[in-house]
Amino acid sequence: MSEATGPVRRPGGRSARVQDAVESATMRLLLENGHSNLTIRAVAQAAGVAETTVYRRWPSVGHLIAAALLRLTATDNPIPDTGSVEDDLATLLSQIVALLTRPDVMRVVRSAAAIDDGGAFAATRAAFFDARFTASAAIVERAVARGQLPAGTDSHRLIETLVAPAYMRALLGSRGFDDDFVDSSVAATLHGFDGRTGPPRP
C-alpha cells in the first residue's frame, strides 16, 4: 500500500482565488461608488478575506485600483491580432472608446487621474500604463515583421498617438465620439508613422 500523501495542491490555487476575489471586489466597488469611499477594509469584506491578506499584496488603495484597472482592460480591451495593422489599431481603439463611453468606467478613470497621495499612486499608475503600452507593442512589432510599418517604429509613441485623443475627449468632455472617430484616428496615426496611407482624414 502506498503511503498517504494528502491532498494535491494546485500551484497558486488559493493565491489565484484570492487575487480574483479581491480584484473583482475592488472593481465592483469602484464602478458602484468611485474611489472616494474605497477602503482596504471594504474590499476585504466584499472579497470575503482578511484585511491582512489584502495588505500583503496590495499595500494601498492605489495598488488596488491599478490592479482592478489592469483586470478590466485585460477582459474588455484585449490586444487584437487580425493580420492587419490598420484593423488591429481600429479594434484596439474601438475597445477603448467603448470603455470610455461607460459612465461607471469613467468614474474609475477620473478617480485614477485625480488621486494625489504624495507619489505612491503615481508610480502605480505609471506601472499600469507601462503594462498596457508593453502589451500593445505587439501590434506594432507584428506590423513591422509583416512589412506594414518600417523597422524602428517606436511602438510606445505610435500607440500614444492613437489613444491620446480618445482620453482627451473623454476626460475633458468637450467633444463626443462620432462614427468617424476611430477610422480618422487610425488613418492619422498611420499617416504620421509610415506616410503610405494618404493624408489623414479631418
Range 29-35 average pLDDT: 80
Cell of 64: 488596488
Question: What pLDDT does residue 95 have?
Answer: 93
Range 161-181 average pLDDT: 88
Task: Tell me: pLDDT of 199 over 70.
Answer: no
The residue with greater pLDDT, 67 or 145, is 145
Question: What pLDDT does residue 180 have?
Answer: 94
At 132-142, the pLDDT tens digits run 889 999 999 99
Spatial separation of the C-alpha atoms in residues 187 and 36, rounded to whole Å: 39
Question: What pLDDT does residue 21 have?
Answer: 94
Task: Tell me: pLDDT of 176 over 90.
Answer: no
Contacts of 127 (CB under 8 A, 6+ apart): 66
The residue with greater pLDDT, 81 or 31, is 81
Question: What pLDDT does residue 93 have?
Answer: 96
Question: What pLDDT does residue 10 have?
Answer: 40
**CA R_g for the chain:** 20
Question: What pLDDT does residue 182 have?
Answer: 96
Spatial separation of the C-alpha atoms in residues 70 and 3, rounded to whole Å: 44
Average pLDDT score, the chain: 83
Question: What pLDDT does residue 3 have?
Answer: 40
At 149-169, the pLDDT tens digits run 999 999 999 999 999 999 999
Task: Tell me: pLDDT of 39 over 80.
Answer: yes
User: For residue 161, which phi and psi values (nearest 5 degrees)?
Assistant: -60, -40
At 43-76, the pLDDT tens digits run 999 999 999 999 999 988 878 887 887 787 777 7
The residue with greater pLDDT, 103 or 163, is 163
At 107-116, the pLDDT tens digits run 777 777 766 6
Question: What pLDDT does residue 13 have?
Answer: 81
Whole-prediction pTM: 0.74
- Residue 197: pLDDT band with limits 50, 70, 90: very low
Spatial separation of the C-alpha atoms in residues 61 and 165, rounded to whole Å: 28
